[in-house]
Amino acid sequence: MNTLTVPLNERDHLRGSPDAPVVLVEYADFECPYCGAAYWVVKKLEQDLPDTLAVVFRQFPLVDVHPHAPLAAEAAEAAGAQGGFWKMHDMLFEHQDALAPVDLMTYAAALHLDLKRFASDLAGHVFLPKVQDDMKGGLQSGIKGTPTFFINGVLHRGGYDEASLLASIMLVAAAAS
């Protein structure tokens, strides 16, 4: 049984209540089409289970197959430094086909981020260490691809479709109550 080796911490991006009975940790790549499909599933589960589910997102760009993923990951982290991680996260997944640097700047402008700071953070790769730390933690937890989910610290071995994730979440929620 694979378990999450890096516990939740203050560097994580969490959406939902930190006291939720179920915490879904997702390792994903903004350019990965499978992660793009999973994005909509997770978004629906968050809406359907607001008192049960919290979601944590960790970066795992597949640098060998998705050339725009590393900078997109850094862009999400740079937005996070300005309080806009989840808005940028959603923007990137909803526009997976447009992740070039000019697109990232367009999204930052649409989110009313400090563009000078955002551009400087990207150019200086300020958040590359955070992305690399997420990736290292994912590798330590046995991740081989994206998306990969951990539910309350245990690797989800099913699919990333709504039925599979919902079933696993509800089993964990029942055990937690």
Digit-coded pLDDT (tens) for 77-88: 999 999 999 999
What is the predicted pLDDT for the residue at 177?
78
Under the banding of pLDDT at 50, 70 and 90, the label for residue 176 is: confident
Q: How far is CA 13 from CA 10, 56, 67, 83, 84, in A?
A: 8, 5, 23, 10, 10
What single-letter DSSP state applies at residue 3? B
13 - beta bridge partners? 57
Alpha-carbon distance of 30 to 12, in angstroms, equals 17
pLDDT in tens, 15-74: 999 999 999 999 999 999 999 999 999 999 999 999 999 999 999 999 999 999 999 999
Reported as a single tens digit per residue, the pLDDT across 119-128 is 999 999 999 9
Give the whole-number percent of the chain exceeding pLDDT 70.
99
Q: How far apart are CA 22 and CA 98, in angstroms?
A: 33
Domain covering 13-176 assigned CATH 3.40.30.10 in the classification: yes
